[in-house]
Amino acid sequence: MSQITMYGAEWCGDCRRSKKFLDSNNVAYTYIDVEADESASEKVIEINGGQRSIPVILFEDGTHMTEPSDNDLKDKLESLSIL
């Protein structure tokens, strides 16, 4: 099973879009709501160099994507042989 973590919030349209993409492609991931978890919000800011941009998606190879398009997310998942 892949180790993917997504930081997001329910009010975030890009987060809902990325969740829908992952769900519709049966990609297993852990979802962390930055509104409910203060430390998660701080982690997002750390990853993004001071910005609170979401979603942030962390991958098993140690890389991350912030606010990826569906096409960019698809390409990344394919490169990891998840899709």
What Rg value do the Cα atoms of the chain yield, rounded? 12
Confidence of residue 2 (pLDDT cuts 50, 70, 90): low
The β-bridge partners of 31 are 6
pLDDT at 1 over 90: no
Instruction: Say if CB 72 and CB 66 are below 8 A apart.
Output: no
The domain limits of the chain are 5-79
C-alpha–C-alpha distance, residues 77 and 32, integer Å: 19
Question: How crowded is residue 29: how many other Cβ atoms within 10 Å of its Cβ?
Answer: 19
pLDDT, tens digit, 9 for 90 and up, residues 36-57: 998 999 999 999 999 999 999 9
pTM (two decimals): 0.92
Interval 18-40 mean pLDDT: 95
Say which CATH architecture domain 5-79 belongs to: 3-Layer(aba) Sandwich (3.40)
| C-alpha separations of 25 from 22, 47, 53 in Å | 5, 26, 24
